[in-house]
A and B are shown apart, each in its own frame.
Chain A
Amino acid sequence: MSESEAAVHGHGDFLEESPYAIPSRKFTMWLFIISDAVTFGAFLMAYGYLRVGTPNWVRPFESNSVLNVIIMTVVLITSSLTMLGAVDAAKVGDKGKAMKFLFSTMALGAIFAALHLREWFELFGRGITIGSGLFGQTFFTITGLHLLHVISGVIALLVVAVKYSRGRLTPSHVETTGLYWHFVDLVWMFVVPLVYLTNIAH
């Protein structure tokens, strides 16, 4: 193809196939997820550093908190399952089912956030805040960052669902948002054991 032909027909023939065989949108989301995973890794590592290096670490969680965390975790893992349903329904063109699954995922995300805030207010009631020592600082920073991701995810899902239902976004957008949602679930699998389960009052 000559340069003049390329100017008319575009540069598609000159470009090599992507080595990953995925759309650039999805690859960008993967790169974001990796950078975010390292951010959470750094926060958890900082928490671990302080946890190991501090004698008489506060262990505030009792059985009611553990029950709350169990419910929160089940809710979040279930939301990943409904997200899988949404992505699959969008791929096969079943818009109605995709919307049902997307709104189920959003509802589960909202329930998770509400349970999270309930846990926080219970700790506030016992005098544990972000300014009450190393435990409060690390706990509220890590769980706050995760909660921010959940709330952002619910908002992103709402925007994608509305635009997808109007035909302005494609199933590929739903899939990319789904990747983010699964990542939020994946981070929680590290936050719970390290931040909650190692701080149960015995």
Chain B
Amino acid sequence: MSAASVSGNVIRKYLPVYFVLIGIFLVEVFLSFRIAATSTLVVVLLLLAICSAGLGLMYFMHLAQERRSLFLTLIPATIFVLLMMNMFWGDSVRLLHLRSMGQ
């Protein structure tokens, strides 16, 4: 097999992932016009974004093909840090209520 034909195959190989990513994004756009409640919309969009990011991470960045030790070193710690940041949400809702009480 020539070098050129090998390098052409990778595009074909990842084309399904590409179309799934585009599809997920178009679903996000569609839902942003359909769902009026912001909190519901944010949750749904975040879940879809996590799916897209997971696909990008595993296939475009080839994390699925690396050793599991790399995945276990990087991803759980990152998720832990990002989840810990969510502690602020409660305070933001409190801020909203304080503002409405003050008016």
Contact = CB atoms under 8 A, between A and B. Distances in A.
Interface of A: 19-22, 27, 30-31, 34, 37-38, 41-42, 45, 48-50, 52-55, 66, 69-70, 73-74, 77-78, 80-81, 83-85, 87-89, 92-94, 97-98, 179, 182-183, 185-186, 189-190, 192-194, 197-198, 200, 202
For the side of the interface on B, what is the size category?
Answer: 35 or more
A89 B7 contact: yes
Given A22-B70, A81-B14, A38 B81 contact: yes
Contacts of A81: 11, 14-15, 18
Per DSSP, chain A at the interface is helix
B88 A186 contact: no
B3 A92 contact: yes
B78 to A, nearest CB: 5
Interface string B81-92: 110011011011
Contacts of B53: 186, 189-190
Interface in B49-97: 49, 52-53, 56-57, 60-61, 66-67, 69-70, 73-74, 77-78, 81-82, 85-86, 88-89, 91-93, 95-96
Interface string B7-51: 111110011001001100110110011001010011001101100
Give the dominant DSSP class at B's interface.
Answer: helix
A118 B11 CA distance: 30
Contact of B60 (A37, A84, A190): A84
29 contacts: A38-B78, A41-B81, A45-B85, A49-B88, A50-B92, A52-B89, A52-B92, A52-B95, A53-B95, A55-B99, A66-B32, A73-B22, A78-B18, A84-B11, A85-B8, A88-B7, A89-B7, A94-B4, A94-B7, A97-B7, A179-B61, A186-B56, A186-B61, A189-B21, A189-B25, A190-B46, A194-B49, A198-B38, A198-B45
Contact of B69 (A20, A45, A194): A20
B85 A41 contact: yes
Contact of A48 (B6, B21, B92): B92
Contacts of A83: 60
Given A97-B7, A190-B49, A66 B29 contact: yes
B74 A92 contact: no
Contacts of B18: 77-78, 80-81
Given A22-B70, A189-B49, A197 B28 contact: yes
